[in-house]
């Protein structure tokens, strides 16, 4: 990467650390209706939903928006992301996909929308100003005969689940996307898979929450839960101080398992799954490189190319569990693989300008489904005042509206029984002792 691109990457990381106005500390403790631990896209979405319901909210994160959300490509792809034996997760993904238009409409309804953003999206697409939300379809393409068979087999599974995936001839696919390689083996149209720009989304939500006056952002690290009379009563902060809340939502990804004061017996078996992702500028003579997201299979390895409205593209993403020495370290082999495979599908990728190579860890679970809900007590019922929302793995951006609604319904006392299978205590043993004493007492 040249010096200019390096400076841009450093500026991008710096922007992540300053993504919202923050309160550096307090002279005394805060008391609010809802404390959200975690300032990624899930935490922002939950805070937005709670605020819209009239609750006062504090979002607690020492580096908001700089984790997995910063690296995410923002594909809203319930159809493409279908995996074998994940039927219940598919239902949640489809529900969240259904919620996205209303979620974006709620964001659009706030102050500060730039009316020029919609025009910049171009013909045949819909962009939500300030979020990069586009309802352009997704194309799935294969590089060789084996990839064609794999995508055709997946289509059978998708169709069996009632999903729409239509085959295209190579000529039809290249008619829609002229820069696709003439050597691709197959193409499928997936009209229900869309995209959003997570960085724009978080920045917009931060601005909107601040403008509404019911939300504060506290740039401090949460170290544990506060307990009072058998219920979770808030959050302890690094360096002293606390936030007291009627409801505390743990939405800080991999950091959730490290909090002091989790309920006795609760196990949150989160694992870091690292992914490398690239951002590249498209030279003027090649714009638009693509008009729709391309999800490819190259010799059995997935790769995607997501076009942005600003003349850049996102290429991703590798998936590795190698435990690098630096959690933000980018794999040289991963960068090579992404560029090689993307170029095989779209040869003009070789002419793009590399702006940024980023790596982040996504929170995976043993069944690849999120931990979303309340935690049971040994004597019956749930621990009052506590909601867990973590482990979203590949689906954090897609599932943001659903996670926000689920959490709001739990706060309202009207849980949706469809999502009981995602309870965070499904991996936990029942504690032997009675009561709700936490794993590590947090006074």
What DSSP line would sit under 325-390, residue for residue? SSTTPPPHHHHHHHHHHHHHH-GGGGGSEEEEEEEEEEEE-TTS--EEE--B-TTSSB-TTEEEEE
* Comparison of pLDDT for 308 and 437, the residue scoring more: 308
Q: Which of 383, 432, 120 is nearest to 250 (CA)?
A: 383
* CA–CA distances in Å: residue 19 to residues 13, 66, 203: 10, 8, 6
% of the chain with per-residue pLDDT over 90? 80
Q: Is the pTM of this model over 0.75?
A: yes
Higher pLDDT, 124 or 232: 232
Contact 32, 187 (CB under 8 A): no
**Res. 294 pLDDT band, cuts 50 70 90:** very high
Within 10 angstroms of residue 182's Cβ, the number of other Cβ atoms is: 8
Q: What's the pLDDT tens digit per position in 99-111?
A: 999 999 999 887 7
Q: Are 403 and 354 in contact (CB under 8 A)?
A: no
Asked if pLDDT for residue 431 goes beyond 90, the answer is no
Percent of the chain at pLDDT > 70 equals 86
Query: Using 50, 70 and 90 to split pLDDT, how confident is the model at 430?
Result: low
**Contact between residue 237 and residue 60 where contact means Cβ atoms under 8 Å apart:** yes
Band (121; pLDDT cuts 50, 70, 90): very low
Give pLDDT, residue 13: 41
Quick count: other Cβ atoms within 10 Å of Cβ 373?
24
Q: What is the pLDDT of residue 439?
A: 59
Q: What is the mean pLDDT of residues 199-213?
A: 92
Q: What pLDDT is stored for residue 292 in this prediction?
A: 97
Cβ–Cβ contacts within 10 Å for residue 145, how many? Answer: 10
Contact indicator for 15, 356 with CB cutoff of 8 Å: no
Residue partners of 196: CB distance under 8 A and separation at least 6: 74, 76, 100, 104, 128, 131, 132, 133, 134, 397
- What are the tens digits of pLDDT across the range 131-146? 999 999 999 999 999 9
Triad 240, 242, 243: Cα angle to 5°: 160
Q: Do 5 and 354 meet the contact criterion of CB atoms below 8 Å apart?
A: yes
Q: Is the pLDDT of residue 432 over 60?
A: no
Tens of pLDDT along 11-61?
Answer: 434 433 433 434 544 545 899 999 999 999 999 999 999 999 999 999 999
Distance, CA of 56 to CA of 74 (rounded, Å) = 28
How many helices and strands in the chain, by DSSP H and E? 10, 20
Note the pLDDT of residue 6.
44
């Amino acid at each position: 990467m040249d010096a200019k691109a390096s400076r841009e990457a450093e500026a991008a990381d710096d922007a992540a650390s300053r993504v919202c106005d923050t309160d550096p500390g307090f002279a005394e403790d805060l008391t609010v209706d809802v404390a959200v631990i975690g300032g990624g896209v899930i935490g922002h979405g939950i805070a937005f939903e709670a605020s819209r319901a009239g609750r006062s909210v504090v979002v607690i994160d020492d580096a908001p928006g700089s984790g997995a959300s910063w690296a995410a490509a923002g594909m809203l792809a319930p159809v493409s992301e279908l995996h074998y034996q994940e039927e219940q997760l598919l239902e949640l993904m489809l529900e969240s996909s259904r919620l996205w238009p209303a979620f974006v409409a709620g964001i659009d309804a706030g102050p500060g929308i730039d009316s020029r953003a919609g025009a910049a999206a171009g013909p045949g697409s819909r962009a939500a100003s300030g979020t990069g939300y586009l309802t352009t379809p997704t194309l799935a393409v294969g590089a060789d005969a084996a990839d064609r068979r794999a995508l055709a087999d997946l289509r059978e599974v998708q169709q069996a689940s009632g999903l729409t995936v239509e085959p295209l001839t190579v000529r039809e696919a290249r008619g829609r996307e002229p820069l696709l390689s003439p050597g691709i083996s197959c193409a499928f149209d997936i009209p229900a898979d869309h995209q959003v720009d997570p960085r724009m989304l978080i920045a917009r939500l931060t601005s909107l929450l601040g403008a509404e006056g019911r939300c504060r952002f506290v740039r401090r690290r949460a170290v544990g839960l506060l307990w009072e009379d058998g219920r979770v009563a808030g959050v302890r902060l690094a360096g002293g101080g606390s936030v007291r809340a009627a409801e505390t939502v743990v939405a800080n990804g991999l950091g959730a398992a490290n909090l002091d004061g989790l309920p006795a017996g609760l196990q949150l078996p989160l694992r870091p799954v690292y992914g490398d992702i690239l951002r590249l500028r498209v030279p003027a003579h090649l714009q638009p490189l693509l008009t729709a997201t391309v999800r490819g299979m190259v010799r059995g390895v997935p790769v995607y190319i997501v076009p942005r409205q600003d003349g850049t593209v996102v290429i991703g993403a590798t998936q590795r569990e190698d435990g690098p020495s630096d959690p933000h370290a980018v794999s040289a082999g991963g960068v090579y693989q992404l560029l090689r495979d993307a170029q095989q599908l779209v040869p003009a990728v070789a002419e793009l300008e590399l702006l940024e190579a980023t790596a982040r860890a996504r929170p995976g679970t043993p069944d690849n489904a999120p931990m979303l809900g309340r935690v049971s007590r040994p004597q019956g019922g749930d621990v009052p005042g506590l909601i867990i929302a973590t482990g979203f793995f590949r689906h954090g951006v897609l599932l943001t509206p659903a996670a926000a609604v689920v959490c709001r319904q739990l706060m309202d006392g009207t849980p949706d029984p469809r999502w009981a299978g995602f309870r965070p205590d499904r991996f936990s043993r029942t504690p032997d002792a009675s009561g709700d004493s936490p794993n590590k007492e947090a006074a």
